[in-house]
Structure 1
Amino acid sequence: MFFVSKDTVRVISELRMNAVASFKSEALLVTDKKINLIYGLNGTGKTIISNYLHNSDNPQFVQCRKTLELSDSILVYNQTFIQENFYDSDSLKGIFTLSKENKTAEEKIAKATTSLASLEGKLKRKSEEKQQVSEEFETQKREAVDEVWKIKTTYEKDSVLEDCLDNLKKRKPLFEYLCKITKPESQPEKTIQGLREEMDALKGESAQEQPSLPSLNFPAQEIERNSIFNESIVGNTDSQVAKLIDKLGNADWVRKGIEYLPKHVDENGQPCPFCQKNTITSKFVDSVKNYFDATYKKQIDTLEEIRKSYIEARYAIPRDISIYKNHQFAEKRVAALTEKHQELTELLVGNISYIKQKIEHPKLPQALKSSVEALAAFNNEIKAINTEIEAYNAQLKDRDSNLNTLKGSSGKGVLWCYFQIETGIVADSRIW
């Protein structure tokens, strides 16, 4: 490299390089020459000196110094100057643009051109993707139109629902109509089949007011709460045989055996069938009969009357409940009616058995089961059926209006079926 001073006055009189690139220690150049030539092998520091003179404010030259004779600016032509001021176009080899400003503009243009090419590539890919999505959408739409039309042809044959689908005679108008209306917020509670049955019930000769079903009544429920079943019924404790009977605990057996005693016993007595001795005397017979006194007999008679009344009340509950199960509004409750009736019947039969046990063993407490809940459970099923009957009878009173309402509900049901197929297609179409 070389540097030249202006006119006859040297520009640089002294140059110090230190702590940069190959200058590990300070190197000093003092000159009084107008033209100075610096040469050397690669890496000796020629380029770093030219870079220092080109931009001495660079932080890497903080320990370098130069002494100037004049305040004129220093012009440097080196590789850095070339990179900053010359732009070599890739498309036009050998053609250069001079000036730093022009180079910057050319670089921006090149960058923008590259970016434009990238964006055009992305746009092309997006267009291809859009085309693919559009084709898929059209395929799905055709399939949806066909499926919607199947629903139409299914229900248009139904005379009950024909009014719901009127004026929709072609595939595309039907589908376009569905795309414009609002989808039902939720699935209708009643099925189309259920609505059809309701509409059938309101039309024709069979559409007549229905009587309510009677509830079951069991008047013997008070018997189940009778305190006598919790009492211990015993004989006359003043009888001579009372202690013996109580000790043996066989009062029930003794009471049944009284009927086998001879009606007339003389003073000599009758032989015992077990020991064959004349132990059965009139005094013994009187003592046994005295044990089962009037109070005891009255309580036993009361139990017998209770048993009779309870059995009569039980037979007031019908064994055959066909009158309930065969009713047109009881179809969904046949199983429940059968189950509740069986539970009630078994409970009543069980209580009859408990009463019999109390009569046979009056000393032992024998509580009955309450039939209140079982009876109420059966009657609740009847109540539910009667509610449907009442609603039906009310509909009959305003038949025409209710038929129109059912047709509207049927239309919503059909629309719900449509939207299960059509919703996804409509959602996709709105993207475009």
Structure 2
Amino acid sequence: MIKKIYIGNIATYIPGVEFEPKKINFIYGANGTGKSTLSKVLSNEISSSECNIEWNTGTKEDVIVYNKGFVEKNLQIHKALKVCFSLGEENTEKKREIEEKKNKIEELLKLNDNAQSTIHKFYDEQKKERNNIEDICWYIQKQYGEEFKSALTGSRSSKRNFCDKCIEVYTSLKEDKVLSLEELRTRYKTVFAKDASKNNKYLNLPINEINLLDTNELLGKMIVGKSDTPIGRFIEYLNSSDWVKLGVEYAKKVDGKCPYCQRELPLNIQEDIEAYFDKTYEENKSALSEYEKKYKLMIDKIKKKIQDIEQNKYLYIDNTKFDNKKIFLLSK
């Protein structure tokens, strides 16, 4: 039980008030005299160093206060049913949270409705603009469609189809490539003339084959014979293996004499020279000869393609640029 209560320096309790309550107490007064303040001090809603409650047992006990604050926390008035529910402080808080979330949902639904309204308005404007574009395109089609009908086959069946075709072409059109009406008429008459003939696109040059030939390892290899013999070292010293090789073939026809000076050849020199030009040398020489044939065939193939292009006289080729590039290519 409470032994003594002291309240000071808050609300109407200036100066402070101290009293010892009985087992049952009746406190009354006009509005603003401090009744609610006293209940808030008892329920610990107001905590101040100027206020103190002393207990008989010396130990603080639970205090239950029924006031306006208790009603707000624990009672829920249902307007529709005109009844009052006691929910407890925790449940009342949950109820309040539910109401807040309901209000939030209503706000979001309102925002969604506004967004949907904006989207529909945008679609309506888009549809209106599309109709305007279709009308403009169709008006132009009526002016020039018949004049260019062969170029517009399949696009003049309806406003929508013609507009779709115009948009498709426009997205790929480069500004610097736009032709005047007179230029279009000239090209149209050329392309759709009754005596017009079709030019097939010329075939590309065999660049991949050329690149493969240019990477042949023989191009970076010196083809020589065996250098581990005295005659081999001498031939390499002179750097004249081709000259000596040619001499060997002639020496077979001059009965033991040097094909160059006609003197008698030393014994076994013919065999030593032939040994210098061993199997590896012959294989490399043969491979190089084969490579040379393939390269010549490739050059002839390129020249033939260039000649075919020149003879066909393709209208879409800039002949001046073509001639300059042809000269540069053949020089390589």
TM-score of the superposed pair, with normalisation by structure 2: 0.50
Tell me the secondary structure at the aligned position of residue 41 of structure 2: helix
Q: Which has the larger radius of gyration?
A: 1
CA distance in 1, matches of 2:167, 2:181: 25
CA deviation after TM superposition for structure 1 residue 102, in Å: 1.8
User: Which residue does the alignment assign to 2:68?
Assistant: 79
Which of these residues, 151, 167, 183, is aligned with residue 195 of structure 1?
A: 183
Q: Which amino acid aligns with 2:55?
A: L
CA distance in 2, matches of 1:75, 1:121: 44
Which of these residues, 125, 133, 137, is aligned with residue 148 of structure 1?
A: 137
Larger relative contact order (Cα-Cα within 8 Å, sequence gap ≥ 6): 1
Q: Deviations over 1:360-405 (max 9, x none)?
A: xxxxxxxxxxxxxxxxxxxxxxxxxxxxxxxxxx9x9534x47xxx
Tell me the secondary structure at the aligned position of residue 66 of structure 2: coil
CA distance in 2, matches of 1:173, 1:201: 25
Q: Deviations over 1:302-354 (max 9, x none)?
A: xxxxxxxxxxxxxxxxxxxxxxxxxxxxxxxxxxxxxxxxxxxxxxxxxxxxx
Residues 114/190 of structure 1: CA separation in 2 closer, same or farther (3 Å cut): closer
Tell me the secondary structure at the aligned position of residue 96 of structure 1: strand
1:39 lines up with 2:47 in the alignment: no
Residues 185/51 of structure 1: CA separation in 2 closer, same or farther (3 Å cut): farther
CA deviation after TM superposition for structure 1 residue 162, in Å: 4.3
- Within 5 Å, which residues of 2 pair with 1:22-421? 22-31=12-21, 33-55=22-44, 58-59=46-47, 61-70=48-57, 71=59, 72-158=61-147, 161-171=148-158, 172-179=160-167, 183-184=171-172, 186-196=174-184, 199=187, 397-399=313-315, 401=316
Q: Is the 8 A contact 1:15 1:28 kept in 2?
A: yes
Q: Deviations over 1:66-86 (max 9, x none)?
A: 101243211111111111111
CA deviation after TM superposition for structure 1 residue 136, in Å: 3.1
CA deviation after TM superposition for structure 1 residue 202, in Å: 6.2
Gaps spanning 5+ residues in structure 2: where? 194-309, 318-332
Q: Which amino acid aligns with 1:22?
A: T
Q: Deviations over 1:2-41 (max 9, x none)?
A: xxxxxxxxx111111011000111211134x322332233
Q: Is the 8 A contact 2:9 2:16 kept in 1?
A: yes
Q: Which amino acid aligns with 1:104?
A: E
Q: Is the 8 A contact 1:152 1:165 kept in 2?
A: no
Residues 186/68 of structure 1: CA separation in 2 closer, same or farther (3 Å cut): farther
TM-score of the superposed pair, with normalisation by structure 1: 0.40
CA distance in 2, matches of 1:135, 1:44: 67
Gaps spanning 5+ residues in structure 1: where? 1-10, 205-393, 403-432
Tell me the secondary structure at the aligned position of residue 69 of structure 2: helix
CA deviation after TM superposition for structure 1 residue 197, in Å: 6.0
Q: Is the 8 A contact 2:74 2:89 kept in 1?
A: yes
180-189 or 99-108, which moves further after superposition? 180-189
Q: Which amino acid aligns with 2:62?
A: S
Residues 180/55 of structure 1: CA separation in 2 closer, same or farther (3 Å cut): farther
CA distance in 2, matches of 1:180, 1:105: 59
CA deviation after TM superposition for structure 1 residue 180, in Å: 5.2
Residues 180/157 of structure 1: CA separation in 2 closer, same or farther (3 Å cut): closer
Residues 173/200 of structure 1: CA separation in 2 closer, same or farther (3 Å cut): closer
177-186 or 43-52, which moves further after superposition? 177-186
